[in-house]
Amino acid sequence: MCVSMPTAPIDFSSLPWQSPAPGVRYKAVSRGGQRLRLVEFAAGFVEPDWCRKAHVGWVLEGALEIAFPDGSATYRAGQGVFLLAGDAERHKARVIGERALLILVEPE
């Protein structure tokens, strides 16, 4: 469930955490067909299945290794993430270190 609000600054501290799977939780706001998520991945998190959704965002803290069908890339604090939807850019994330905190913008 995403919280929908009128146009205003987003106070993530007032939103509840949602946990769709072990080792990952997020807070989300939806507006105009887009969803903004603050996502936290815990130490040891490894995505069990290939994700085929689009993600655009920024790594705020920590680091993630993202595996693709033809290799992998490491995304660290201060770096952007730009993943397209579909089978060609399917991906699996794995936390490097204690945790990774990201802000992601995604289609709803």
- The domain segmentation of the chain, as residue ranges, is 23-107
> Which one, of 75, 80, 78, 81, lies nearest residue 96 by Cα?
75
The pLDDT assigned to 30 comes to: 92
What superfamily does domain 23-107 belong to in CATH? Jelly Rolls (2.60.120.10)
The pLDDT assigned to 56 comes to: 96
> What is the DSSP code string of 53-69?
S-EEEEEEEEEEEEEET
The pLDDT assigned to 2 comes to: 54
Q: Give pTM, 2 decimals.
A: 0.86
> Which one, of 100, 60, 107, 19, lies nearest residue 27 by Cα?
19
In order along its 108 residues, the chain shows pLDDT tens digits of 555 555 778 999 999 999 998 999 999 999 889 999 999 999 988 888 999 999 999 999 999 999 999 999 999 999 999 999 999 899 999 999 999 999 999 998
